[in-house]
Amino acid sequence: MSKKITTLKAVIFLLCSVFLLNSCDTETEKTIPKVHTVEIKQMKFQPAELIVQKGDTVVWINNDIVAHDVTEEPGKAWTSSVMPVGESWSLVVTQSADYYCNIHVVMKGKLIVQ
Ligand SMILES: [Cu+2]
């Protein structure tokens, strides 16, 4: 009885391994989403223009001395809400967008999906 269970466990383990290996193979064929970082510093988004692939994640980090936000322009389709100093906020990018800081409207940035 216990030998059967051991064999069964071995078969399940083997099937899982094959499955995992297969999913690894298919993963390498796709474009693996990247994570990009935009630093907010000295009242600027750095870099202000960022070229990304669809599905990539952009992380904004507020390394300035005042609070900022990241808001889509012109429709406010998405917003980080207020980001205190030291906070970060991320977005999975599906389309190109212009954005700005709703607190300091002169601060502008751009996401370009290629
Ligand atoms: Cu700001």
Q: Report how far ligand 1's centroid is from the alpha carbon of 67 (Å).
A: 6
Using pLDDT thresholds of 50, 70 and 90, give the confidence band for residue 1. Answer: very low
Q: Tell me the C-alpha to C-alpha distance, in Å, between residue 15 and each of 10, 19, 20.
A: 9, 6, 9
pLDDT at 29: 52
Q: Is the pLDDT of residue 12 over 50?
A: no
CA distance 51 to 100: 16
CA of 55 to the centre of ligand 1 (A): 26
Q: Is 18 exposed, middle or buried (0-12, 13-18, 19+ CB in 10 A)?
A: exposed
112 φ/ψ sector (left φ>0, alpha ψ -120 to 50, else beta): beta
Measured in Å, residue 113 CA sits from the centre of ligand 1 at: 24
> 0.85 exceeded by the pTM?
no
Distance 6 CA to ligand 1 centre (A): 61
